[in-house]
Chains A and B, each alone.
Chain A
Amino acid sequence: MNGQAWLLLFEGAWTTLWISATAIAIGVVLGLAIALVRMAKVPFVDQLLVLYISLARATPLVTFVLFLFLSAPTFGINMNRNTAAIVAMTLNTAAFNAEIWRAAFLSFSREQKEAALACGMTSGVFFRRIMLPQMITTSLPGLVNEMSFLIKGSPAIAVIGIVDLTRVTNRIAAVTYDPLPPILAAALLYMLIISALLKLQAMAEKKANRLAM
C-alpha cells in the first residue's frame, strides 16, 4: 500500500465521520424532542411515535438506507446519496436516543420538581435549569454507546454507493489486486475511532456515577 492508498482511506474515514457526526448531532436532539412529545402523552401522536420507534429499532440500517434512497424519488423527493444516508441514519439513531432520553425522564426524582416549584420556578425554567443538565449527565453514557453503535452500523451507507471507509477498500483493491492490506488498514482506523468513543463512554459513566452518589 502506497501513500495514495492511505490518502484514499483517510478520505473514506472522513466521509464516514462527517456523515455519522451529522446524523448523531441531529439524532440526539431529535431523540430528545421525541421523548418530550411522548412524555406529553398526546393521544394519537403517542401511538404513532411508539410505532415509529418500534419499527426503526427493528429495521436493519442497510434495508432502511436502501428503502429511503430508492423510494424517495417515487414520492417526488429528490435526494442525493449523502442526504439519503444522513436522513436514514438520523431516523435510525433518533429512535434509540428517544428511548434513552425517556428512561432519563422516567427516573427523574419527583422531590426535585416539587422543591423547584415550591421555590417559585416556572416549569420551563425548572426544565432548563434543573432537569435538563441532570438528564444530560445521566443519559450521556447511553448516548455515547449509541454513537459507537451508529459508527459500527455506518458501513450500511456503502450499499447506495457512498465511498465510505469500508467501501474504499474495494476501490483500492481494484487497483492493487491485494484486498487484505486495505481492509486491515480500514479495520485499524475503525478501531481508533470506536475505541475513542468507548473511552469517552467510560468517562461519561464515571461522571454519571458520581452524580448518583
Chain B
Amino acid sequence: MTEWSILWDAREVFSNGLIATVQLFVLSTLCAFVLGCALVYQLEHGNRLSRALRLLINLMRTLPFLILAYLLYYGLPPLGLRLSAWSAGLLALIVYHAAYFAEILRGSRLVMPEGYVEAAKAHGFTPLRLYLRIILPTLVIKTRPLLGNQLIIALKDTAFLTIITVQELTAAANSVQSTYFIPTQAFVVVIVLYWLISICLELALKRAARFGAKRGFDYV
C-alpha cells in the first residue's frame, strides 16, 4: 500500500504531466484541424501550389511522427532555428496531423456529389463562402468517425514527445519511477489516465454521431 501513498505524494508531477499532455493535444489538434481545412481549400484550386501540397501530404503519410519531431528539434538548430522541445513538439504535431486531417477530408471530397456544389455555385456563392458554408460542414459531419480516430492517434502521438524531452504525462511517469523505483504503479496510473482521455473522446464522438444523424447524415 505504501507505493500508492508515494504516488499520491507525487500527484503534482502527474497533474503537471497531464496538463501538459492535454494542452499539447488540444492546442495541436485545433491548429491541425484548421490547417487541414485550409489545405483542402487550397487543393480545390488544382494549380501548381496544390500539387506541391498533395506531395507534401503524401510525404507526411509515409513518415513516422517521431522523425518529424526529430527533424524540428535536432535538425533545425544547425540551420540557425532553435526551438524549445515543447514548441518543436507542438509544431510537429500540428504539421503531421494537419496532413492527415487534410487527407481524410480530401478523400471524402472526392466522392461528394458534384450537383450539390454546382447548385450552390448557381446560387452565387463565392468560392470561399461555398467552401466554408457548404462543402466543409458536409465533409466534417461525414468523416467524423475517421476524424475522431485521428484525434485518438494524435493523443497517442503526444507520448512520443517524451523522447525529445518534453515534460508530458509519460515523462512524468518515467521521472516518478526513476525517483522512487515503483515502475508498475506509476505507469498504471498514467495508462489509466490516457485511457480515460480516450474514453471521453469516444463519448464525444458518439454525441457527434447523434448530431449527425439528426441532421440526416446516415448511420448513428
Using a CB–CB distance below 8 Å, which chain A residues touch chain B? 54-55, 57-64, 66-67, 70-71, 74-75, 151-156, 158-159, 166, 169-170, 173, 178-180, 183-184, 186-187, 190-191, 194-195, 198
Q: Is the CB of B194 within 8 A of A63?
A: yes
Tell me the complex Cα distance, A61–B170, Å. Answer: 11
Q: Which residues of A lie under 8 Å from residue B70 when comparing CB positions?
A: 166, 169, 179, 183
8 tightest CB-CB pairs across the interface, nearest first?
A60-B159, A70-B183, A67-B187, A155-B66, A71-B184, A58-B198, A60-B156, A194-B62
Q: Which of B63, B75, B183 contacts A71 (CB 8 A)?
A: B183
Q: Is the CB of A179 within 8 A of B78?
A: yes
Q: Which residues of B lie under 8 Å from residue A198 when comparing CB positions?
A: 61-62
**Interface SS of B by simple majority:** helix
Q: Which residues of B lie under 8 Å from residue A195 when comparing CB positions?
A: 62
- A58 and B183 in contact (CB under 8 A), knowing A66-B174, A67-B191, A183-B75? no
Q: Which of B63, B78, B152, B194 contacts A187 (CB 8 A)?
A: B63
Using a CB–CB distance below 8 Å, which chain B residues touch chain A? 59, 61-67, 70-71, 74-75, 77-79, 152, 155-160, 162-163, 169-170, 173-174, 177, 183-184, 187-188, 190-191, 194-195, 197-199
**Interface SS of A by simple majority:** helix
Q: Is the CB of B74 within 8 A of A190?
A: no
Tell me the complex Cα distance, A27–B86, Å. Answer: 34
Q: Apart from A66-B187, A159-B162, what are 9 other A-B pairs with CB-CB below 8 Å? A: A54-B199, A62-B170, A63-B170, A70-B187, A151-B64, A180-B78, A183-B71, A194-B63, A198-B61
